[in-house]
Amino acid sequence: MSGTYEAEVRWRRQPDERFVDGRYSRAHEWLFDGGARVHASSSPHVVKLPFSDPSGVDPEEAFLAAISSCHMLFFLGYAAQRGFVVAAYDDRAIGVMGKDGTREWMAKVTLNPNVEFAGDKRPTAAEVEALHHQAHADCYIANSVKSEIVIESRAKGLQPR
């Protein structure tokens, strides 16, 4: 599947900010098709308060969410194709920064999907693992990054042994 995607990022300097002294707000807005607007900012781990806004989504969090969301969407699609009903899917993605020489980067991402199955046809633990493997292999975002991605899944409602 090919296509072109867009995201708009908007930031404006406030009238009382000099800017060149580094004392300016990093709060900004992400705008997406369909009208979604997301309040964003630099991470308070990178730019200290009050120049970052912890209530905003930072790029590092968005990176994790994009990987997790892409993996989940593929997983759900493959589960449905195999006739497995997913009742719930929750993930808490965790990213760890590393250094590559002098550059910092998101070195490792751990996805922690917790999947609950329902319905008459239930997968085995091996089938769930295979679904995660296929979802990871096909996820566009995972295929676009150099970060190590680890999947530590849990599942409920599996086929009885």
Q: What pLDDT digit, counting tens, does each position of 120-155 carry?
A: 999 999 999 999 999 999 999 999 999 999 999 999
Residue 113 has pLDDT above 70, yes or no: yes
Please report the pLDDT score of residue 2 as a whole number: 74
Domain ranges, residue 19: 1-57
What is residue 49's predicted lDDT score, i.e. its pLDDT? 95
| pLDDT on residue 84 | 97
Domain tally for the chain? 2
Q: Is 58 helix (H, G, I), strand (E, B) or coil?
A: coil
Quick check: is 69 in a domain?
yes
Quick check: is 125 in a domain? yes
pLDDT at 160 over 90: no
Cα–Cα distance, 133 to 111 (Å, whole number): 12
What does the alpha-carbon distance between residue 125 and residue 88 come to, in Å, rounded to a whole number?
16
Q: Give the pLDDT score at 31.
A: 97
Residue 110 lies in a domain: yes
Residue 1 confidence (pLDDT) above 70: no
Number of helices (H) and strands (E), helices first, in the chain? 2, 9
Q: Are the C-beta atoms of 107 and 98 separated by less than 8 Å? A: yes
Residue 61's Cβ-count burial label (10 Å; 0-12, 13-18, 19+) is middle
Q: What is the pLDDT, as a whole number, of residue 60? A: 97
Is residue 161 assigned to a domain? no
Q: Are the CB atoms for 59 and 38 separated by under 8 Å?
A: no
Question: Are 126 and 67 contained in the same domain?
Answer: yes
Residue 16 sits in a domain of what CATH number?
3.30.300.20
Are 122 and 111 in a shared domain? yes
For residues 75 and 40, membership in a common domain is answered with no
Q: pTM for this structure?
A: 0.93
Half-sphere exposure of 79 (CA within 13 A, CB side): 28
